[in-house]
């Protein structure tokens, strides 16, 4: 087995960091989508209350191109009536911009604090 060059090590490290950032952005986006759905139906997951206005109906996966790269199989929740839309990205668009930039910046600021 041969030793890796400095450039090969730097490239491998860069790919690993990129993967971790995409994974973190995906997790944050899915959390935001879940919160949006909770607001849409008027209740948290499995919560029963009189002000509930709808029912969750699972989720679907979609790929999304972001400033940090392609996020594969982002879980997007759906409601039984089919009326849920998110503010995270536009319907039928496969790429985004400003929202992920803001999420990524918030996430990076949180890492810098720790």
CA distance 66 to 104: 10
| Distance between CA atoms of residues 113 and 84, nearest Å | 35
Q: What tens digit of pLDDT does each residue of 6-59 get?
A: 888 777 777 788 888 889 889 999 999 999 999 999 999 888 888 888 999 999
Q: What is the mean pLDDT of residues 83-107?
A: 70
Confirm if 25 and 107 have CB atoms less than 8 A apart.
yes
Distances (CA, A) of 50 to 37, 39, 44, 46: 17, 14, 13, 13
Q: Name the least confident of 60-69, 80-89, 92-101.
A: 92-101
Domain boundaries, the chain: 6-113
């Amino acid at each position: 087995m041969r030793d890796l060059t400095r450039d090969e090590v730097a490239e491998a490290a860069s790919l690993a960091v990129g993967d971790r950032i995409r994974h973190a952005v995906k997790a944050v986006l899915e959390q935001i989508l879940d919160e949006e759905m909770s607001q849409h139906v008027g209740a948290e997951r499995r919560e029963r209350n009189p002000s509930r206005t709808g029912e969750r109906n699972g989720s679907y996966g979609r790929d999304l191109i972001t400033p940090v790269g392609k996020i594969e199989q982002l879980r997007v929740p759906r409601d039984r009536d089919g009326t849920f839309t998110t503010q995270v990205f536009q319907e039928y668009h496969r790429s985004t911009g400003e929202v992920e930039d803001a999420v990524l910046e918030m996430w990076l600021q949180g890492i810098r604090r720790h």
